[in-house]
Amino acid sequence: MGKSIESHLHEDRVFQPPKEFSRKARISSMAQYRRMYKESIAKPASFWGREAKELAWQKPWKKVLDWSAPYAKWFVGGKLNVTESCLDQHLDGPRRNKAAIIWEGEPGETRVLTYQQLHREVCRFANVLEANEVKSRDRVLIYMPMIPEAAIAMLACARIGAVHSVVFGGFSAESIVDRLEDSGATTVLTADGGYRRGKVVPLKANVDAALKSHKGVKRVVVYQRTGAKVTMKRGRDLWWHEELEKVSASHQARAFDSEHPLFILYTSGSTGKPKGILHSSGGYLLGAYTTCKYIFDMRDEDVYWCTADVGWVTGHTYIVYGPLANGVTQVMYEGAPNFPDFGRFWSIVEKYGVTIFYTAPTAIRAFIKAGDKFPASHDLSSLRLLGTVGEPINPEAWMWYHEKIGGGRCPIVDTWWQTETGAIMISPLPGCTPTKPGTATLPFFGVDAAILDENGKECKADEGGKLVIRKPWPSMLRTIYGDARRYKKVYWSDYVGRYTAGDGARRDRDGNFWIVGRLDDVLNVSGHRLGTAEVESALVAHKAVAEAAVVGRPHEIKGQGVVAFVTLREGVKTSGRIEEELRNHVGKVIGAIAKPDEIHLTPALPKTRSGKIMRRLLKELVATGKITGNITTLEDFGVITKLQKEMKK
């Protein structure tokens, strides 16, 4: 890759885990981490074999790993029903009557489902699916609001061996069609609607619109959440509650092969067509289970809350499979973080005594922008551990999270992983790893992560390159559904036998991994490679800036120029010189090379509904002055018009 990605940000602040936390943590010293890590790499079969015994198996495996690159089989010969680890196994002891899910709807109502009740609901709905002729390996599309029934639907599919494919409730009818076509699902599970920012999201109407152009669906089961009027098509659409009345509450869990497919989750790649990432059962569950156990250090007395939506992999692994396999109590919230105002999350933390809180940097930045008065007016003293995921966290946001939310006492686990990896891959262990704002630190057990240059040679300290994983891991994707060629090409063709993550990264002298960002978001300015995330981080570190996105634009002399889109904090007066001030600020933090050639002030950035900035659109905008590309995943369409106007100035 020519010159390696150079890293210009320096972060010297180091935070040791609080003694009190370490004392109780499962992994309480770096020596213990290193010993276990070493074993997990040198003897994966004995390491993972031991961990996997904590899950519920109906038939023991014969061989832990069968690896024929790029195809892995974990726990060969073993049979299990994933839902027995998540539910049935907790029913024999004190967890039976413990809250599994404490749910809060956006309008404010609360429901609590104990493990016993959740088990019962999953069994009932598994019977509904079977009564409607859903069979093992059939694909089922789930398009639901954030209500317990979303998790129940997923688990009911898993229980009967059907393959769920959850489509985020914020996606359009068009996306449903794409996913139906690719997966061949013939059953859809949805709701009459869900609440988001005080409005009802018309889920059923979107399904209806999708099914106008896609004909293969035989059954649509509709949960009544809002009471909104919907049209039910005779012979195709059924009411969830009516179906439940026809079935019993007992359901015998059949055993499936460890490699039985569990779910398909679509994620965008470099081309327009989303990739259907396929995960299987035993290995995936083990990844979900062990990362929750060691990275979130889950305890029976914890109240855990992951703010993701089940429509993303974070919701699959860290709302459904991981927490439930650990028998933890979790909070699930239906709505927006700013409804009725930016105090909502903190009021939930206070109300239920949340102890572990997992969210995204984009949310943290939104909270920073909204002002400190929101967290300050709630009692957040129950929190003991914080986590982030989704993008590199800028040190400014990390420090704010640490101080204003964690009260300076909670370790932060910055967790790097992907839809494809199934579970967290690089992260601090909260009881032992020294953290620095902005780094995901060290690989988790069994993860042989490395940074390679274009010749496949491992990079030196502080030298940037491509992040790869050199050994198979239990929760790895198995293929791209229906497209083995693309699977090989996208992930396994850069270096023989190594998984390429598509991220640029570097390791510092202490071995910490700093994720620079997707490689397609790395610029080349005058022969220097520069991570857009680093320029953004520098911008956001300025007191006037709430959020920033940086893209490259062709530049006659430099090769690529730096273009920044900046949202200022509320209440900041723009003097007309703010742009120049920001350029100089970036020059000061990183170096003159990173000074943006252009700065565009904008009230908002174009984002996907999961909060990722759509740089693709910004790139198009700076290149052509307008946006014509696919914007179906955009959260707020008004942003585009505003940006186009700004560019004409």
Q: Provide the minimum distance between the beta carbon of 611 and ligand WT7 in the complex, in angstroms, as a whole number.
A: 10
Query: Burial code of 106-136, b = ≥16 C-beta within 10 A, e = fewer?
Result: beeeeeebbbbbbbbbbbbbbbbbbeeebee
Candidates 125-133, 179-187, 453-461, 495-503 — which segment interacts with ligand WT7 by CB under 6 A? Answer: 495-503
| Between 296 and 416, CB nearer to ligand WT7 | 416
CA quadruple 363, 365, 370, 373: dihedral sign: positive
- Helix, strand, coil in percent for the chain, rounding step 5: 35, 25, 40
- Please report, to the nearest 10 degrees, the dihedral formed by the alpha carbons of residues 563, 565, 569, 571 taken in order: 100
* Least distance to ligand WT7, CB of residue 389, Å: 5
- Measured CA to CA in angstroms, residue 79 lies from 291, 317, 388 at distances of 22, 20, 34
Binding mask 339-378 vs ligand WT7 (x if CB under 6 A, - otherwise)? ----------------------------------------
Q: How near is the Cβ of 390 to ligand WT7 at its closest, in Å?
A: 5
- Classified as helix, coil or strand, 615 is helix
Q: Give the shortest CB-391-to-ligand WT7 separation in angstroms.
A: 5
Binding pattern for the stretch 226-255 against ligand WT7, x by CB under 6 A and - elsewhere: ------------------------------
From 17-25, 163-171, 468-476, 512-520, give the range in contact with ligand WT7 by CB under 6 A.
512-520
Return the residue of 142, 515, 590, 634 that touches ligand WT7, per CB under 6 A: 515
Q: For ligand WT7, give the closer residue by CB, 390 or 465.
A: 390
Q: Which stretch binds ligand WT7 (CB under 6 A): 11-19, 185-193, 282-290, 386-394?
A: 386-394
Size of the chain in residues: 649
- Specify the residue, 57 or 312, whose C-beta has the smaller distance to ligand WT7: 312
Q: Is 314 in the site for ligand WT7 (CB under 6 A)?
A: yes
Residue 17: left if φ>0, alpha if ψ -120 to 50, beta else—which one?
beta
CB of 479 to ligand WT7, least distance (A): 16
Binding mask 394-433 for ligand WT7 (x = CB under 6 A): --------------------xxxxxx--------------
Map residues 162-191 to x or -, x wherever contact with ligand WT7 holds by CB under 6 A: ------------------------------
Among residues 341, 503, 497, the alpha carbon closest in space to that of 426 is found at: 503
Q: How far is the CB of 531 from ligand WT7 (least distance, A)?
A: 11
Binding status of residue 392 toward ligand WT7 by CB under 6 A:
yes
Cβ proximity to ligand WT7: between 160 and 477 the closer is: 477
- Please identify, using beta-carbon distances, which residue of 190 and 512 lies nearer to ligand WT7: 512
Report the alpha-carbon distance of residue 491 to residue 222 in Å, rounded: 37
Strands 187-191, 219-223: pairing kind: parallel
Residue 543 beta carbon to ligand WT7: minimum distance, rounded to whole angstroms = 24
- Segment near ligand WT7 (CB under 6 A), from 22-30, 295-303, 499-507, 619-627? 499-507
**Nearer CB in complex with ligand WT7: 128/467:** 467
Tell me whether residue 162 or residue 412 sits nearer to ligand WT7 (CB atom): 412
**Closer of 334 and 521 to ligand WT7 (Cβ):** 521
Q: Is the peptide bond before 340 cis (omega within 30 degrees of 0)?
A: yes
Judge contact between 495 and 456, C-beta under 8 A.
yes
Choose between 347 and 418: whose C-beta lies nearer to ligand WT7. Answer: 418
Whether the CB-CB separation of 323 and 387 falls below 8 Å is answered with no
Task: With both helix axes pointing from N to C terminus, report the angle between 578-589 and 532-540 in degrees, rounded to the nearest 10.
Answer: 120
Report yes or no: 534 and 521 within 8 Å, Cβ to Cβ. Answer: no
Question: Whose Cβ is closer to ligand WT7: residue 430's or residue 561's?
Answer: 430
* Residue 243 neighbours by CB distance under 10 Å: 19
Write the burial class of residue 453 (CB in 10 Å: 0-12 exposed, 13-18 middle, 19+ buried): middle
From CA 585, how far away is CA 594, in angstroms rounded? 10
Residue 443 tokens, joined: 């690989």
H runs (alpha helix) in 81-226: 82-86, 115-131, 148-160, 173-183, 203-213
Check binding of 389 to ligand WT7 (CB under 6 A).
yes
Within 10 Å of residue 253's Cβ, how many Cβ atoms? Answer: 21
DSSP string, 253-277: PPPEETTSEEEEEEE--SSSSPEEE
Q: Closest residue (Cβ) to ligand WT7?
A: 419
- Residue identified by tokens 């990844």 is 287
Please report, as a single letter, which amino acid is at residue 208: D
Query: Least distance from C-beta 294 to ligand WT7, angstroms?
Result: 16
Residues 534 and 590 sit within 8 Å (Cβ to Cβ): yes
The least CB distance from residue 226 to ligand WT7, in Å, is 28
Number of residues near ligand WT7 (by CB under 6 A):
20
DSSP secondary-structure letter at 142?
E
17 preceded by cis ω (within 30°)?
no
Instruction: Please identify which residue in 139, 260, 293, 518 interacts with ligand WT7, judged by CB under 6 A.
Output: 518
Task: Pick the piece of the chain touching ligand WT7 (CB under 6 A) from 163-171, 383-391, 447-455, 558-566.
Answer: 383-391
Tell me which amino acid residue 309 is.
Answer: D
- Other CB atoms within a 10 A radius of the CB of residue 24 amount to 11
How near is the Cβ of 424 to ligand WT7 at its closest, in Å?
8
**The binder of ligand WT7 chosen from 70, 105, 311, 390 (CB under 6 A):** 390
DSSP structure class, residue 171:
S
Which one, 289 or 416, has the nearer CB to ligand WT7? 416
Cα gap 24→542, rounded to integer Å: 38
Q: Which one of 267, 338, 500, 524 is in contact with ligand WT7 (CB under 6 A)?
A: 267
Q: Does 391 bind ligand WT7 (CB under 6 A)?
A: yes
Q: Is 440 in the site for ligand WT7 (CB under 6 A)?
A: yes
For 182, residues 6+ apart whose C-beta sits below 8 A from its C-beta are 266, 274, 276, 481, 482
Q: Which is nearer to ligand WT7, 163 or 515 (CB)?
A: 515
- State the minimum distance, in angstroms, from the CB of residue 412 to ligand WT7: 11
Choice between 29 and 418, CB closer to ligand WT7? 418
633 binds ligand WT7 (CB under 6 A): no
Q: How far apart are CA 501 and CA 467, in angstroms?
A: 6
CB of 465 to ligand WT7, least distance (A): 15
End-to-end CA separation in angstroms for the chain: 37
Based on CB atoms, which residue is closest to ligand WT7, 145 or 428?
A: 428
**Distance in Å, CB of 425 to ligand WT7, minimum:** 9
Q: How far is the CB of 196 from ligand WT7 (least distance, A)?
A: 20
Which chain residues interact with ligand WT7 by CB under 6 A? 267, 313-314, 389-392, 414-419, 440, 501-503, 515, 517-518
